[in-house]
Each structure stands twice: as structure tokens, then as C-alpha cells.
Amino acid sequence: MNTESHFTALESEAHPRWDTDVLIIGSGAAGLRAALAASENADVTLITKTTLKESNTLYAQGGIAVAMNIDDTVELHVQDTCSAGCGLCDIDAVETMVAEGIPRVTELLDWGANFDWEGTLPRFTQEAAHSRRRIVHKGDATGRETTDVLIQRVLNTERIRTISNAFAIDMLTDSTAQSGNNSITCYGITAIVENQLVNIYAKATILATGGLGRLYPCTSNPEVATGDGFAAAWRAGCEMIDMEFVQFHPTTLYLDGAPSFLISEAVRGEGGRLINIRGERFMEKYHEKEELAPRDIVSRAIQNEMLLTDFPCVYLDITHKSAEFIQERFPTISNTTTHYGLDISIDLIPVRPGAHFMMGGVRTNTATETNLNGLFACGEVACTGVHGANRLASNSLLECLVFGVRAGENAAMYATSQESTLPPKIQIPRCDYIHLNDVNSEIFKDTVLAAKDVIRDTLWENVGIERDEEGLEFALTDLAEIATEMGLNPSTSMPTTSMNGQSTDIHLNETVNMLNVAWMITRASLIRTESRGGHYRADFPDQDDVSWNRRVIMKIGNEPEFVGLT
Ligand code: SIN
């Protein structure tokens, strides 16, 4: 499509200016599906941090949970989702996701998704905490298949323009946002494109930036998942909700020289067993469902066994299955482990837990609206409440498809009701600026890279699978010290610090984002003095339904506030 018809550069502004009807930030399943939906009624620009393919979706192995099997119902899927969510799911959002998931998956199949079949039905597999076999999949590469199908359609859609290597820094909001008025409007974003700052103005903006697993040293997430969307939304004045609920997947590969890589829960679904370094099976000590217990329980059990045996991992044993079965069912895992010298049809797989999924995020309703006019959010960065305190396996791609469509349709409708993208007086989010004299020096760049590791280590130690008050307070102090070392403002303003306009260095912007998001997760974890789902407080080990059947909402400029569940 012709660039000129889509964008206008205004030389009078500090940065080049581009315009579009609907701007989508992120190219995972949610962003791609939103783009397709929005393009039915509007011109769409989709920007993505690196390549169009790279996102958490690409690495999703398990599949898509959908109530399409002959013995399954929407009610059962809703029930399983809510029971995994430990009392904090928003029932309307869950019902929407499960019911609309059926047409969304059917449509994906119609578009050519080559999922595994058995006779006239998709081959449904089992995963933990599902009462039925309801996971449609393509071997262990469901995310890749889904991505390929959606990208193909996006590239064939004339009204969608895609821009790779575009790093979204901050939302463009109007001036009323800065003067304490509650009504904030989003007019797009400032981004780094080809090493230059660009203002991309949009009548409607959809945030679909994915997750934040890379805030932790062990994770199933790719390098791009540094939580940038959460940070930008927070700085722009979005309400953030459930930020204490990070899901740790029990089994990521732990092998010298190999990247931290997901070993799908489907391996346990197919009978894989966990054993410790002493060769003992241990899950029966922790839960009646053993290896198929909820993820938080399996993760804590593994962590405990690692502690008891003073060994940095446990093992997953799938050797009872034939080499042919493994190659057909788990080609991605099998090819990756073979690459590192491990034949999983005869060798045990060394595994340990890693950060996997963020249940919390930008608060949205089922129409994907945020508290900012013109800003919609979908996928992992958003929180409609579908996951509550813990996500059920394979509900994430389902969420992306369902709420991606809703975001695209609603954003396009909003955009067509707006006359222009020109705001009254644009402002970037409030920034507590800093003395950044040497941002381009080698020493400063080294400091920034080191800071990322320190953030990861402090979160893993203190805001990980188990937390307590002492560790959480320690983490807050640590984060403030990291900020000071980087020349950022001292502790009180650290959570709101933004780099907007000061540097086009991606690492620096990522590090600031990581600091913002790490602060939110830590602060929310400190507030919730109970254990529930993905949030386990060793000093408050029980679920407290009397005081805590409610959710933590945080917004910039306020002390974190609470609301009850409706
Ligand atoms: C997995 O394959 O274990 C991950 C699936 C999910 O997180 O839903």
C-alpha cells in the first residue's frame, strides 16, 4: 500500500509525524487478529518491536483450549477456567472468551490452520486442570502455525500497513491528562523507528504488546518480552490490575549452553513424570493430581525438591513413549533438545520453573476499552479478568483471538467516529527526568545492561515463585538503588520515570520499562497479604477469602487502591 496516503509528516513538530486511523502495537496473535478485524472498517498501521513473527505467540507450544469436543460444553470450560482462577475471574469475560472462542477457532481452521486431526474432529489433547480433552494443537508448534496463518492474511490485506523494528516508547495523550482531569485521551505513541523518534498519531490505538517474562532470568518468553506495553500504559495513566499474579511454568529447559526454553505441559499431559536428582517421583507428596496439578503447585513442588536435594533442577521423564511418537507429537521440543545433545526418547529432560505468563495488566472491560479514551488493549498486556489469579493452560491464545477481534472492531468504530487525529495539545506522559549526560557512553551502556541482570536477579530471588514481606521490601530498595545508579531520579519517582525523548537506545528504554514494571509487580505483591493462584506469600500461605476476594488496582499518582469484586 502507498505510504503517503497513510502517513503525513509534519515538519513543524519536533519529531516526524505520521497519521493513521487505527494504530496497533504488537504482532502476536492479539495484535494480528485485531488488525484483521479493524481493517474491515478502517486503515490500520501495525507496528512491532522486531520482526512481524517474533512474539510470545510464536513460542506457544501447548495449543488452544476450546469447547468443541463431543463431550465438552461452554459451561464446563467456564467452570475449569474459573476454578483455575481461584475466585478472581470476571465471569462475564470468561463466558465471552469461551463462547466466542468456538467461532474464532473454527474461523482459524477455515483460514487453513493445519492443526492435528483425528477422523472428522481436531485431535483434542489433555492439559492440567482441564476436565475434558479440549486443546487443539499442531504438534507442539501451535503458536507458529497460528502466527503463520494470521500473518499471511495480514500481509494480503490492503488496508493494513506493517512496520517492523518500531519500538513504542510512550503514549501521546492530551493536556487534560496532565492537569489532573480524569478524562485522558490517547492519540497514538512516540516510537523509535530506524533510530529516530517518530510521533505516530492515531484516532484509536490498540495496545497488544504481549508479556513480561524477560523480567526474570528463567523464562519461557523470547527476548522481546520486557514488559514495554505495561510500562507505557502505566506512565500514560492507565489503571493496572492484578499485577501480583505472574504465572511460573513448572518446566523450562535447564541445560548448559541452551536458552531457557519451554517444555510444554502437554509432555506431562501425555504421561511425562517428574523425578528429582535422586531418581524419586515426588508429585504425589504435593497434590492428588500429581504431575497434572495446577501450575503454581507443580512449580513450588519443583522448587522445594531442588532445595531438598540441593540441586539446580529436576527431571522430566517421557522415555516410556516411542521415539516415533515423540517426534510426531513434540517435534519442536525434540529437535531443540537434540540440538543440545539430548535424545528425550531415552534421556531425562533437565527442567526447572520459569516466568511464563502475566495474568494482570492494563485494566480493560470486555469491549477491550481502557480508562483512556481511544486506547484499547488485548492479549497478555491486557487484563479483562479472564484468568483471575491463575491462567488455565492454553487459554492464552484463545484470549488473544477473541479479544483481538473485539479490540479491532471497537477501535475501528471509535476511529470512524473521530474527525481527525489532531489533539488539542499533545503531551507525553509525565516524566521525572533525570540527569542523563552520558547516555551514549560505553560505560553508561554497560551499566544499563548490567542493570537488566540485577533487576532479573532481584525479582527471581524476592518476587518469584515464593514471596514474603522482607524479600519484597528488599526488592523495592534494590530497584531504587538500580535507578539511582543509572542516574535516574531517586526512589520516590523511580516508578514513573520515562526516557521519552531522551534516548533512542533500545536497551536503555527497555531497562527503564523493566524498572517500572518490576516496581508494580513488587508493590502489588506486598499489598496482597495472602496466597492465591500465581501469588504465593510464604508469610501468608493461606487463601484469605474474607479479606482478599478482591483485586488490587494501581494508577500513577495515587497510592495503589483496592476495589471489591462485583
Ligand atoms: C505449554 O505448552 O505448557 C504452555 C501452554 C500454555 O501456557 O497455555
| Cell numbers given for 272 | 511425562
If one residue of 58, 135, 396 were mutated to test the ligand 1 pocket, choosing by the most ligand atoms within 8 A of its CB, it would be: 396
Query: Which amino acid would we find at residue 312?
Result: P
Query: Which amino acid would we find at residue 50?
Result: T
Q: Whose CA is nearest to atom 8 of ligand 1?
A: 394
CB of 266 closer than 6 A to ligand 1?
yes
CB of 393 closer than 6 A to ligand 1?
yes
Among 408, 447, 500, which residue's Cα sits nearest to residue 167? 500
Facing residues of 468 across strands? none
If one residue of 394, 400, 401 were mutated to test the ligand 1 pocket, choosing by the most ligand atoms within 8 A of its CB, it would be: 394
In the block, residue with C-alpha cell 506495553: 229
Rounded Cα distance, 25 and 44, in Å? 11
Please identify, by atom number, the ligand 1 atom nearest to the C-alpha of residue 61. Answer: 2
Rounded Cα distance, 38 and 288, in Å? 46
Q: Quick one: pLDDT at residue 449?
A: 83
CB of 394 closer than 6 A to ligand 1?
yes
| Cell numbers given for 359 | 495474568
Rounded Cα distance, 91 and 97, in Å? 10
Q: Quick one: pLDDT at residue 176?
A: 56
Please identify, by atom number, the ligand 1 atom nearest to the C-alpha of residue 393. Answer: 8
CB of 61 closer than 6 A to ligand 1?
yes
Facing residues of 316 across strands? 274, 349
Cα 89 to chain centroid distance, Å, stands at: 17
Among 177, 172, 166, which residue's Cα sits nearest to residue 189? 172
Strand order in the sheet with 382-383: 382-383, 361-363, 240-241, 550-554, 561-564
Q: 495 C-alpha vs ligand 1 centroid, how far in Å? A: 31
Rounded Cα distance, 208 and 34, in Å? 9
Q: 60 C-alpha vs ligand 1 centroid, how far in Å? A: 6
Rounded Cα distance, 372 and 467, in Å? 32
> Residues 431-475: pLDDT tens digits?
444 445 466 677 777 878 889 999 999 999 999 999 999 999 999
Asked if residue 417 lies in contact with residue 373, where contact means CB atoms within 8 angstroms, the answer is: no
Q: 413 C-alpha vs ligand 1 centroid, how far in Å? A: 33
Residue 180 has pLDDT above 90, yes or no: no
Rounded Cα distance, 478 and 515, in Å? 10
Q: Quick one: pLDDT at residue 11?
A: 32
pLDDT bracket for residue 177 (50, 70, 90) = very low
Mean pLDDT of 26-39: 98
In the block, residue with C-alpha cell 487484563: 383
pLDDT bracket for residue 12 (50, 70, 90) = very low
Please identify, by atom number, the ligand 1 atom nearest to the C-alpha of residue 140. Answer: 2
> Residues 371-390: pLDDT tens digits?
999 999 999 999 999 999 99
pLDDT bracket for residue 335 (50, 70, 90) = very high
Q: Quick one: pLDDT at residue 398?
A: 98
Please identify, by atom number, the ligand 1 atom nearest to the C-alpha of residue 65. Answer: 8
CB of 264 closer than 6 A to ligand 1?
yes
In the block, residue with C-alpha cell 477455515: 110
Asked if residue 534 lies in contact with residue 216, where contact means CB atoms within 8 angstroms, the answer is: no
Q: Quick one: pLDDT at residue 538?
A: 97
Q: Quick one: pLDDT at residue 493?
A: 36
Cα 393 to chain centroid distance, Å, stands at: 14
If one residue of 356, 392, 399, 400 were mutated to test the ligand 1 pocket, choosing by the most ligand atoms within 8 A of its CB, it would be: 356
What torsion, rounded to 10 degrees, do the Cα atoms 488, 493, 498, 502 define? -40
CB of 55 closer than 6 A to ligand 1?
no
Q: 468 C-alpha vs ligand 1 centroid, how far in Å? A: 27
Residue 227 has pLDDT above 90, yes or no: yes
Q: Quick one: pLDDT at residue 197?
A: 86
CB of 390 closer than 6 A to ligand 1?
no
Which member of 235, 295, 456, 523 is catalytic? 295
Q: Whose CA is nearest to atom 5 of ligand 1?
A: 62
Rounded Cα distance, 376 and 23, in Å? 10
Residue 557's alpha-carbon distances to 6, 13, 178, 241, 499, in angstroms, are 36, 29, 11, 15, 18
> Residues 251-285: pLDDT tens digits?
999 998 888 889 999 899 899 999 999 999 999 99
Q: 265 C-alpha vs ligand 1 centroid, how far in Å? A: 6
Q: Which residues contact 349 (CB under 8 A, 6 or more apart)?
A: 251, 253, 263, 267, 315, 316, 317, 318, 337, 342
Q: Whose CA is nearest to atom 7 of ligand 1?
A: 393
Q: 188 C-alpha vs ligand 1 centroid, how far in Å? A: 32
Asked if residue 197 lies in contact with residue 501, where contact means CB atoms within 8 angstroms, the answer is: yes
> Residues 345-360: pLDDT tens digits?
999 999 999 999 999 9
CB of 62 closer than 6 A to ligand 1?
yes
> Residues 521-531: pLDDT tens digits?
999 999 999 99
Count CB atoms within 10 A of the CB of residue 389.
26
Residue 298 has pLDDT above 60, yes or no: yes
Cα dihedral across residues 81, 83, 89, 93: positive or negative: positive
Query: What mean pLDDT, rounded, does the chain reach?
Result: 89
Helix or strand run (H / E) with residue 222: none
> Which of 179-183, 280-284, 539-543 is predicted least confidently?
179-183
Enumerate long-range contacts of 109-112, CB under 8 Å, 24 or more apart. 111/149, 111/153, 112/149, 112/152
Cα 437 to chain centroid distance, Å, stands at: 33
> Residues 36-52: pLDDT tens digits?
999 999 999 999 999 99
For the chain, give the percent of residues with pLDDT over 90: 75
Helix ranges, 331-395 (H): 331-339
Q: Whose CA is nearest to atom 4 of ligand 1?
A: 62
Q: 359 C-alpha vs ligand 1 centroid, how far in Å? A: 14
Q: Quick one: pLDDT at residue 222?
A: 95
In the block, residue with C-alpha cell 531438598: 308
Q: Which residues contact 103 (CB under 8 A, 6 or more apart)?
A: none
| Cell numbers given for 542 | 493461606
> Residues 496-512: pLDDT tens digits?
444 445 567 888 889 98
Q: 271 C-alpha vs ligand 1 centroid, how far in Å? A: 16
Residue 23's alpha-carbon distances to 58, 78, 411, in angstroms, are 22, 32, 9
DSSP 3-state of 357: strand
Cα dihedral across residues 300, 303, 307, 309: positive or negative: positive
> Of all residues in the chain, what percent are helix, strand and coil, respectively (each to 5)?
35, 20, 45
Annotated active-site residue 161? The verdict is no
Q: Quick one: pLDDT at residue 437?
A: 47
Q: Quick one: pLDDT at residue 483?
A: 82
